[in-house]
């Protein structure tokens, strides 16, 4: 029996459903569901029953809930006591990886609110390439990431809460001679500048070329280790690139880049909050996640906002509390 499992039980009892509990905890429903199943396996007895309106506790679950509430209350008191010591003058740090298009849209809404709420916490941001961020998350040098969610086989030791899905597109500078191209076959003699970690090369090239039966022009593909460097080269040269649609729709790029009207379509990606599995986030991380979700929902509720309209139409929002309970 583990502490996080007891916390899940107490939160589900308080919120009335796994969906609401996951939202309160800043976790995915799958993570909470798995934790509760493991708790029932350990207890060797059913603790929960599901009905049309949510979750109910069995008699055994009700009895265990009393202990779970006591344990979680004591842990909360311990965390608050430690927080008082930290707040007495020591500076804390919160390290966050952020994918570029999120950095150019929602981040500016989150940071001022976070600084007002936790002025003693120093923020540290990193570009959100998942292949580089995931090792940092596992080792503890990165607290959380708001970026692309990798396939399951790359998520060992991590958990994710999906927030957005988006498509990829081929881009060029405004006025590029290939701006009217309709097929990748027309672009094989052009130079490309891509932003990815070297270990992601095969996956990126398969999404861009391989899945369409086209051999990548490898001697024409170049690597930029930062998104800003890649975008500068695309804007100032005839190099092509492969970008998330929402990045192209940001205010700073919308009038400088053009998405090519290609017949080919590319696999979509998920963006969400990624952090270490089976670990309760620190108060600063919880606050940042909550403020980010608030900003996301405000964004969705303001579809005609001039700063957001173009980006919003290029993504599909996934409310972490919108899916039915598992």
Q: Find the mean pLDDT for residues 18-41.
A: 86
What is the number of alpha carbons within 13 Å of residue 250 lying toward its C-beta? 17
In percent, how much of the chain has pLDDT > 70? 91
Supply the pTM of this predicted model: 0.68
The set of residues, in sequence order, having a beta carbon less than 8 Å from that of 279 and lying 6+ positions away, is: 4
Neighbours of 132 (CB within 10 A): 20
Q: Find the mean pLDDT for residues 144-158.
A: 88
Q: Find the mean pLDDT for residues 73-82.
A: 72
pLDDT at 311: 85
Min mean pLDDT across 12-26, 86-100, 213-227 is at 86-100
Q: Please give the angle made by the CA atoms of 54, 59 and 62, to the nearest 5 degrees.
A: 70
């Amino acid at each position: 029996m583990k502490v996080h499992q007891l916390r899940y039980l107490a939160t589900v009892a308080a919120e009335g459903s796994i969906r609401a509990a996951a939202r309160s905890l800043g976790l995915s429903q799958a993570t909470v569901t798995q934790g509760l199943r493991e708790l029932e396996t350990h207890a060797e007895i059913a603790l929960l029953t599901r009905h049309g309106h949510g979750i109910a506790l069995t008699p055994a679950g009700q009895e265990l809930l009393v202990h779970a509430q006591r344990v979680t209350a004591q842990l909360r008191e311990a965390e608050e006591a430690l927080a008082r010591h930290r707040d007495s003058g020591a500076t804390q740090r919160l390290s966050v990886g952020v994918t570029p298009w999120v950095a150019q849209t929602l981040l500016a809404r989150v940071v001022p609110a976070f600084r007002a709420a936790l002025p003693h916490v120093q923020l540290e941001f990193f570009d959100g390439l998942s292949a580089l961020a995931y090792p940092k998350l596992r080792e503890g040098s990165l607290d959380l990431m708001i970026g692309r969610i990798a396939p399951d086989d790359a998520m060992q030791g991590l958990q994710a809460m999906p927030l957005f899905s988006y498509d990829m597109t081929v881009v060029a500078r405004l006025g590029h001679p290939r701006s009217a191209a309709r097929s990748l076959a027309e672009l094989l003699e052009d130079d490309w500048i891509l932003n990815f970690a070297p270990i992601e090369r095969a996956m990126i090239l398969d999404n861009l070329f391989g899945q369409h039966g086209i051999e990548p022009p490898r001697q024409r593909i170049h690597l930029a280790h930062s998104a800003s460097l890649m975008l500068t080269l695309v804007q100032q040269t005839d190099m092509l690139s492969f970008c998330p649609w929402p990045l192209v729709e940001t205010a700073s790029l919308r009038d400088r880049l053009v998405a090519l009207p290609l017949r080919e379509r590319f696999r979509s990606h998920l963006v969400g909050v990624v952090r270490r599995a089976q670990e309760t986030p620190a108060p600063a991380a919880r606050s940042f996640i909550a403020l980010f979700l608030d900003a996301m929902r405000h964004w969705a509720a303001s579809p005609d906002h001039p700063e957001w309209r173009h980006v919003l139409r290029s993504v599909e929002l996934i409310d972490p509390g919108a899916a039915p309970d598992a």
